[in-house]
Amino acid sequence: PQAIYLKDYQAPAFWVDQVKLDVALDDHQTRVISTLSLRRNDQREAGLPLVLNGQGLTLKRIELAGQPLAETDYQYQEDLLTVARVPDQFTLVTEVEIDPANNTALEGLYKSNTMFCTQCEAEGFRRITFFPDRPDVLTRFTTRIEADQQRFPILLSNGNPIERGELDNGRHFVTWEDPFPKPCYLFALVGGNLQAVKDTFTTMSGREVALEIWVEPENLHKCDHAMRSLKASMRWDEQTYGREYDLDIFMIVAVNDFNMGAMENKGLNIFNSACVLAEPKSETDAAFQRVEGVVGHEYFHNWSGNRVTCRDWFQLSLKEGFTVYRDQSFSADMNSAPVKRIEDVAMLRTAQFAEDAGPTAHPVRPDHYIEINNFYTLTIYEKGAEVVRMMAELLGRERFRQATDLYFERHDGEAATVEDFVACMAEVSELDFSQFMRWYHQAGTPKIEASGHFDADARTYQLTLRQHTPATPGQADKLPLHIPVRMGLVGPNGHDLPLELNGEQLGTETVLHLREAEQTFTFHNIAAEPVPSLLRGFSAPVKLAFDYSREQLAFLMAHDSDGFNRWDAGQRLAVLALQHLVNQIQANEPLQLDPALIEATRTLLNGEMTDKAVLAEMLRLPSEAYLAEQYEQVDVDAIHKARSFARKALADALYDDFLRLYKVNQRVGDYAPEANQIAERSLKNTCLGYLMAREDEATIALTQEQFNCADNMTDQRAALTLLAHAEDPRLGAEPLRRFGESWAHDPLVMDQWFSLQVTRPQADALDRLKMLMAHPAFSLKNPNRVRALIGAFVGQNRVNFHRQDGQGYQLLADVVIELNRLNPQIAARLVIPLTRWKRMTSERQDMMKAQLERIRQESLSPDLFEIIEKALA
Ligand code: DPP
Ligand code: ZN
């Protein structure tokens, strides 16, 4: 497979002004007739051939301007259809046959249970028909779908239905017309025996839009939350970005077999059922929030992605980073804003930073790729969102809104670039973004080393910031970035000091612009030594080091005016304590948890904090993955042992406090997935988690009671997880059996049941995983099952994935080899933890590389080929 480079971009040779598709659905022999109205882009290229993409298509017929082409007039090989002699403007008709029922890659048209559905982003449309499959070719689509009426009463595509009718042999058809030109990756088609929950939304200009969520009949009761979320998204985008919906109908379809979370096809979003279905008895608070976020995300794409799309796939973060930023802001407005920020940053700092530090590191705008599917990453999405967030910070709310208005207006109906977006920011703000653009070009996580110097005589505080971005594969030398550092200086009384910098009064908080490799900022009129609070709100996606004492961290935890930094100070304190334990473990010394962490936790548990959601976050110890991020060489076992020890030590020292908070937050009244209740459940279950670290009889009884009596999945699953993860395997056995039996009919709940068993930290987890892979509800063909079982094990059960006998690695390699044949996208994603061998101990490195080598022996898909080559480079 060959790499494709951004620098080689060329405008399309032909435009497609219109496409008429005629799709006759059949399990194995779906017939697609397409009629393309083609027009040469550049007349000077007259005479050059027409080249269309097409993958796995059986070509039955091809006509140019109404005349069948002779076999010598065209060629179909290596996924390209080339027609040698074509005029500047003409109609091309092709008829192809495809086999959806055997499409296990889940790209293009495929079957999920009994329904037909599509996934065309990034390059799935070429598996449906011949087409210039690239995002800068925007086309008006008319789609006629024909199918058996009994089995597929519902036939959907983009836009508005304009005709329907019955045919012979029990077949029927529906024709859809999408008035908006769109790239083919936004094409969608669905056929099935579906039912809908329907509603309407009146837009800000008074138009009524029909809203429909289509699901298999057994899921009708799980759609209310998605519908509420959809209406909230539509209102929010009007109020926050001035964006109104533009078609008369908006549809969502839930599909069980789906590679991604969801897809923003114009007017017909297709969702992984896990991101749209939610109901209190069967889904957790986290699932409710995920549904809200993803519904918002896909809806917001209608402007940031669909009305303004991407010129090429290198620009993917143009739509994804921006849209993640938009969905994050939406969720923050709907729920607890500080908790949303904490969750997003925690994820970024573990998973995205790990990506940045590994063999697949790439910039927010990559400059080459082999397989674009490998670039739907945390870097493109989450780091891309951080980059947009920084620009929003630099502009301020009002000017950022002016800039996005300008962007949407100027590029409406176009395929744009990152430069186009940033140009709007620059134009409105009159700021210079040339250095800032490095955030798009340079991979890797910048590190800032900060140090402070207080001069009592001069009454100054000097803050020195040094930035450095480590080398990443293919990018050895990095230039300094423009990093906005929001900060304050906290005085001895706990209040922010007035900031005077270069003779200017800046209030009590400011944004420092770090542009050089090293810069010193001198604050004047500082009477007593302050504690600096840096990178407030996580104002840039960097690692910030400052040599805080434990006393300073405890002080910031209590006094920082920035909620995010109060949380972060707690995390820093916990990291110090846990690292200390890791040292003790490695030196074979008796373990003792830092009393400062116990006291800080005691203060939290007995404090005045009114925001329970934040309190729950503050009580949570940093994850093993985040702790691993702190080391050049990772001792997986010591980290796990240290964290488990700390949990138990905290529970022993603060038993009464945890129990009291657990009891105080027992809700009475009906379950609702709303912010206050979610916060209470989160706090309560965090406390129960600590208590269960002791596995004492009283807590076991409490947990069993919660499992038996819960009226919602959040509480029930929390209790079940604790029982299933207990040292004593008997505690989980019976509850797991009962739970598995009562939810056997619901695949999404079975996914939870799978995950919580294989994330059990005890040594029997791998055996359980093997047993569960043989469970009738498991299938390697379904991405949700694979993620729930294998993905959870390798991603969330670090001690067992990294077992010293290497069996965790071997199992992953076995699965990846099989998935390489079935579903290359999922295979390439799943293998990632195996590629991060560099930071493991040397025996583990060898075992991991041996498994990568074994995978390399296979005939690999481009997806896996690219990842494995990078991992072994
Ligand atoms: N459907 C995926 C998303 O919304 C890819 N566009 O992020
Ligand atoms: Zn997206």
Report DSSP letters for 66-90, one per residue: TEEPPGGGEEEETTEEEESS--SEE
Task: Report how far ligand 1's centroid is from the alpha carbon of 316 (Å).
Answer: 10
CA–CA separation, 89 vs 28, rounded Å?
Answer: 34
Task: Report how far ligand 2's centroid is from the alpha carbon of 384 (Å).
Answer: 11
Report which secondary-structure segment, H or E, holds 847. helix 842-856
Distance of CA 711 to the CA centre of its chain: 30
Instruction: Tell me if 121 CB under 6 Å of ligand 1.
Output: yes
Instruction: Tell me if 260 CB under 6 Å of ligand 1.
Output: yes
Task: Report how far ligand 1's centroid is from the alpha carbon of 298 (Å).
Answer: 7
Ligand 1: residue of 182, 186, 264 to mutate (most ligand atoms within 8 A of CB) is 264
Query: Closest Cα to atom 3, ligand 1: which residue?
Result: 263
DSSP character for 433?
A: -
Report DSSP letters for 442-478, one per residue: --S--EEEEEEEEETTTTEEEEEEEEE---BTTB---
Residue 794 makes CB contacts below 8 A (sequence gap 6+) with 801, 808, 812, 830, 833, 834
Ligand nearest to the CA of 269: 1
Ion ligand 2 neighbours, Cβ < 5 Å: 320, 323
Task: Report how far ligand 1's centroid is from the alpha carbon of 776 (Å).
Answer: 30
Task: Report how far ligand 2's centroid is from the alpha carbon of 467 (Å).
Answer: 31
Residues of the chain with CATH 2.60.40.1840: 447-540
Query: Closest Cα to atom 5, ligand 1: which residue?
Result: 263
Cβ atoms 341, 333 nearer than 8 A: no
Tokens of 619: 């009580």
Query: Closest Cα to atom 1, ligand 1: which residue?
Result: 263
Instruction: Tell me if 286 CB under 6 Å of ligand 1.
Output: no
Residue 535's identity, in one-letter code, is: L
Superfamily of domain covering 743-873? Peptidase M1, alanyl aminopeptidase, C-terminal domain (1.25.50.10)
Ligand 1 atom closest to residue 298's alpha carbon, by position in its atom list: 4
Tokens of 517: 């490799």
Ligand nearest to the CA of 321: 2
Q: Which of 79, 60, 86 is nearest to 71 (CA)?
A: 60
Residue bearing tokens 């797991």: 736
Instruction: Tell me if 270 CB under 6 Å of ligand 1.
Output: no
CA–CA separation, 779 vs 747, rounded Å?
Answer: 11
Ligand 1: residue of 106, 187, 298 to mutate (most ligand atoms within 8 A of CB) is 298
pLDDT at 538: 98
Instruction: Tell me if 320 CB under 6 Å of ligand 1.
Output: yes
pLDDT at 97: 98
Q: What are phi and psi of 713, to 5 degrees?
A: -70, -30
The backbone region for 716, taken as left when phi is positive above 0, alpha when psi lies in -120 to 50, beta otherwise, is alpha
Interface ipTM = 0.97
Instruction: Tell me if 264 CB under 6 Å of ligand 1.
Output: yes
Tokens of 362: 């790439």
Ligand 1 atom closest to residue 262's alpha carbon, by position in its atom list: 1
Task: Report how far ligand 2's centroid is from the alpha carbon of 257 (Å).
Answer: 18
Ligand 1 atom closest to residue 305's alpha carbon, by position in its atom list: 6
Please give the class, per CATH, of domain 447-540. mainly beta
Write out pLDDT tens, residues 613-622. 999 999 999 9
Instruction: Tell me if 298 CB under 6 Å of ligand 1.
Output: yes
pLDDT at 11: 98
Task: Classify domain 309-441 at the CATH topology level.
Answer: Neutral Protease; domain 2 (1.10.390)
Which residues are known catalytic residues? 298
Tokens of 552: 């300073």
Task: Report how far ligand 1's centroid is from the alpha carbon of 263 (Å).
Answer: 5
Instruction: Tell me if 64 CB under 6 Å of ligand 1.
Output: no
Ligand 1: residue of 301, 378, 380 to mutate (most ligand atoms within 8 A of CB) is 301
> CA dist 761 to 284, 801, 848, Å?
22, 10, 21
Task: Report how far ligand 1's centroid is from the alpha carbon of 107 (Å).
Answer: 13
Ligand nearest to the CA of 324: 2
Residues of the chain with CATH 1.25.50.10: 743-873
CA dihedral 579, 585, 591, 594 (to 10 degrees): -10
Q: Which of 286, 282, 288 is nearest to 227 (CA)?
A: 288
Instruction: Tell me if 312 CB under 6 Å of ligand 1.
Output: no
Pairing of β 14-24 and β 160-166: unpaired
Instruction: Tell me if 262 CB under 6 Å of ligand 1.
Output: yes
Task: Report how far ligand 1's centroid is from the alpha carbon of 659 (Å).
Answer: 43
CA–CA separation, 342 vs 335, rounded Å?
Answer: 13
Ligand 1 atom closest to residue 381's alpha carbon, by position in its atom list: 7
Ligand nearest to the CA of 304: 2
DSSP character for 497?
A: P
Query: Closest Cα to atom 2, ligand 1: which residue?
Result: 263
Ligand 1: residue of 320, 323, 373 to mutate (most ligand atoms within 8 A of CB) is 320
Low-confidence ranges of the chain (pLDDT < 70): none
Query: Closest Cα to atom 7, ligand 1: which residue?
Result: 320
Ligand 1 atom closest to residue 376's alpha carbon, by position in its atom list: 5
Ligand 1 atom closest to residue 263's alpha carbon, by position in its atom list: 1
Q: Which residues pair with 36 in a beta bridge?
A: 19, 92
- Reduced to 3 states (helix: H, G, I; strand: E, B; else coil), residue 202 is strand
Ligand 1 atom closest to residue 301's alpha carbon, by position in its atom list: 4
Ligand 1: residue of 184, 263, 266 to mutate (most ligand atoms within 8 A of CB) is 263
Judging by beta carbons within 10 Å of its beta carbon (0-12, 13-18, 19+), is residue 37 exposed, middle or buried?
Answer: middle
Residue bearing tokens 């993620």: 787
CA–CA separation, 205 vs 244, rounded Å?
Answer: 8
CA–CA separation, 311 vs 185, rounded Å?
Answer: 12
pLDDT at 667: 81
CATH number, domain 1-192: 2.60.40.1730
Ligand 1: residue of 233, 272, 376 to mutate (most ligand atoms within 8 A of CB) is 376
- Reduced to 3 states (helix: H, G, I; strand: E, B; else coil), residue 103 is coil
Task: Report how far ligand 1's centroid is from the alpha carbon of 252 (Å).
Answer: 14
Q: What are phi and psi of 396, to 5 degrees?
A: 85, 160
Question: What pTM was estimated for this model as a whole?
Answer: 0.98
pLDDT at 729: 96
Residue 78's identity, in one-letter code, is: E
Kindly tell me the sign of the dihedral angle through the C-alpha atoms of 824, 826, 831, 835.
positive
pLDDT at 316: 99
Residues of the chain with CATH 2.60.40.1730: 1-192
Task: Report how far ligand 2's centroid is from the alpha carbon of 296 (Å).
Answer: 10
pLDDT at 610: 79
Instruction: Tell me if 356 CB under 6 Å of ligand 1.
Output: no
Instruction: Tell me if 617 CB under 6 Å of ligand 1.
Output: no
HSE value, Cβ hemisphere, 13 Å, CA-based, for 483 = 29
Write out pLDDT tens, residues 125-180. 999 999 999 999 999 999 999 999 999 999 999 999 999 999 999 999 999 999 99
Query: Closest Cα to atom 4, ligand 1: which residue?
Result: 263
Cβ atoms 467, 515 nearer than 8 A: no
pLDDT at 132: 98
Instruction: Tell me if 380 CB under 6 Å of ligand 1.
Output: no
Query: Closest Cα to atom 6, ligand 1: which residue?
Result: 263
How large is the greatest C-alpha to C-alpha distance in the chain, in angstroms? 95
Ligand 1 atom closest to residue 297's alpha carbon, by position in its atom list: 4
Residues of the chain with CATH 1.10.390.10: 309-441
Examine residue 354 and say whether the peptide bond preceding it is cis (omega within 30 degrees of 0): no
Tokens of 407: 């962007």
Task: Report how far ligand 1's centroid is from the alpha carbon of 33 (Å).
Answer: 27
CA–CA separation, 544 vs 555, rounded Å?
Answer: 18
